Amino acid sequence: MSTYSPSSTRYDQMPYNRSGRSGLKLPALSLGLWHNFGDIDDLDVARKIILKAFDHGITHFDLANNYGPPGGSAEINFGKILNHNLKPYRDELIISTKAGYGMWPGPYGEWGSRKYMLASLDQSLKRVEIDYVDIFYSHRFDPETPLEETMTALSDAVKSGKALYAGISNYPAEASQKAFQLLRELGTPCLIHQARYSMLDRWVESELLDLLEAEGVGCIAYSPLAQGLLTDRYLKGIPADSRAAREVFLTKEQVDQVYQKIVRLNQIAQNRNQSLAQMALAWLLKDDRITSVLVGASSVQQLDNNVKSLENTAFSNEELKKIEELL
């Protein structure tokens, strides 16, 4: 039996933002389980991070079928923690998962066919050991499957009770608009779009955010720290054990290209009494079109530091001007 009791003040500090025109509110910060929660990671550390997140009022835990590694293991490990520690609080949690990337061999193991989407959802529910997810996403746009087919699969997942809301992720703006229209016609309006967005990757500002606002769809930003570039990790060069040194998700060339920017951004952050990472998260949350920002964490301390970003999310005009000039 679990001895865990969540903090009685867990809802006192965390802001909750309505997702588009839906009835659902998400915490300003959500916990992403892409890295650090798979079979190659320490389950005990993962448990401590997840429980601490809930103590902070982080109610939303973001998964996908391929998170791990290996793919599926993050869902299995989250399921263990959920069932051992958080089961009494299931109705206080938002659990999301996605289908779109390669999961099993053969032609039905990825992309956006109805066959793959619904089989993947069933597998995810078994791994997490739950009856439904709160949000089910199409993880990427499939240029070869009719969009009607993918969106009907999402809608049917909701109508079957296996998901409460439908979302899309990594969709370009034009496909997003068509997806929103289709889902509305199917009676399952799109809840949220999960998009890559950071100070160093701002494509959503020109192409997506106004569309989401007009359509009444929320936005949750992932990779807000640009794979670690917007942290203190690279302020003194490239550490030997870093992603850039191993060329995993990040190259040495990418670090070199933005090095002067991140050093100067860090100076602005220090003047705000924030770390670079805290300022990068606060900078995203200053825009009320952003429903939530997905943070990762490899330790409780890292999670705590990310949550501290919420203590100062206001920017002066002068700070915004300086940041804009740098970016």
> How many other C-beta atoms are found inside a 10 Å radius of the C-beta of residue 106?
7
Q: What is the pLDDT of residue 1?
A: 61
Task: Give me the residue spans of the domains in the chain.
Answer: 16-227+277-314
pTM: 0.96
Question: Among candidates 99, 18, 89, which has minimal Cα distance to 50?
Answer: 89
β-pair type (25-27, 16-18) = antiparallel
Helix axes 73-81, 114-128, angle to 10 degrees: 40
What residues in the chain have per-residue pLDDT under 50? none
Q: What is the pLDDT of residue 251?
A: 79
Q: Report whether 108 contacts 142 (CB < 8 A).
A: no
Quote the CA–CA distance of 162 and 267 in Å, as a whole number: 47
Quote the CA–CA distance of 195 and 222 in Å, as a whole number: 6
Q: Report whether 30 contacts 70 (CB < 8 A).
A: no
CATH number of 16-227+277-314: 3.20.20.100
Q: Which two tokens stand for residue 54?
A: 């809930």
Question: Among candidates 163, 233, 153, which has minimal Cα distance to 186?
Answer: 153
Q: Count the helices and strands in the chain (H runs, E runs).
A: 12, 10
Q: What is the pLDDT of residue 248?
A: 73
